Amino acid sequence: MIIFILLLSVIGFAFTFVLAKKSWQTGVGVVCGGIFILSLLLVTANFVSHFGMKKVVETQSIELVSSADGLDVLLYQPLGDGSEKVYLYQTPDTKELKPTDTDYVTNTVTEGTPPELVTEKSYWEYENDFYKLFFGIVNNNHEFIEAENTFNIPETWEVLSVDQMKEFGELAKERQASFKEAAQKEIQAKMMEAIQKDPSLATDKEKQQTMIDQWTVELQNQMMQDLLNEVK
């Protein structure tokens, strides 16, 4: 509507003030000129200061799964000097990693369970139907302002860059054979020590296997932690 008022006020000013021959035409022209200036000021206020609009926030929570196989991790890709990061996350319904946006977006990582991404997006919307009708032709309703992404991840998760994750995978593959050999020796030593303390274990194969499985998991976790400390 505001655009039509501007056009009509310009036309009215042209026909009644510029081409005025009578005093009443001059008066109407002055009024049309005033309407034009006022309308122009309102358009400027709407464009610059979002006059007639209010800020609304839409919140969305998305469940997260690890960004990589075999390790609970949230990946990111540093940009520029590394002060800005694009996080690469995955949900249970997707097979590909999703990057966070970069324009007017703030990313924060905090500890929390369950793992989820909470996104708060801010928009400008018109306060009521009158303002929407008045300025609606500008087509700026639901105009995006900014977004805040909060990644809530458990304490057991890691936050790694893409390069760190790549290095971790290469080191794990490279040291797999040596780890297996070292783990076997350590488990054998642990078993001999356990049998010395409890001779009945020598014939209890089921309990031996339970202990071996437990030690294997512990050694694997320790190896993974050592590799993570190395690449971080």
Domain boundaries, the chain: 2-49, 54-160, 175-231
Q: What average pLDDT does range 29-54 have in this prediction?
A: 78
Question: What span, in angstroms and rounded, lies between the C-alpha atoms of 26 and 13?
Answer: 9
What tokens does 43 get? 């358009």
In sign, the C-alpha dihedral spanning 176, 178, 179, 185 is: positive
Q: Tell me: pLDDT of 89 over 80.
A: yes
pLDDT digits (tens, 9 = 90+) for 158-186: 999 999 999 988 888 888 788 888 888 88
pLDDT digits (tens, 9 = 90+) for 4-14: 565 555 656 56
Q: Mean of the per-residue pLDDT values for the chain?
A: 84
DSSP reduced 3-state for 111: strand
Q: What tokens does 17 get? A: 């003030």
Which residue is listed with tokens 């949230």?
A: 74
Residues in the chain: 232
Give the pTM.
0.75
**Taking residues 24-35, what's their average pLDDT?**
65
pLDDT at 14: 60
Encode pLDDT of 181-232 as tens digits. 888 888 889 888 888 888 888 888 888 898 988 988 888 878 888 888 888 8
pLDDT at 121: 97
Query: Where residue 22 falls among pLDDT bands split at 50, 70, 90?
Result: low
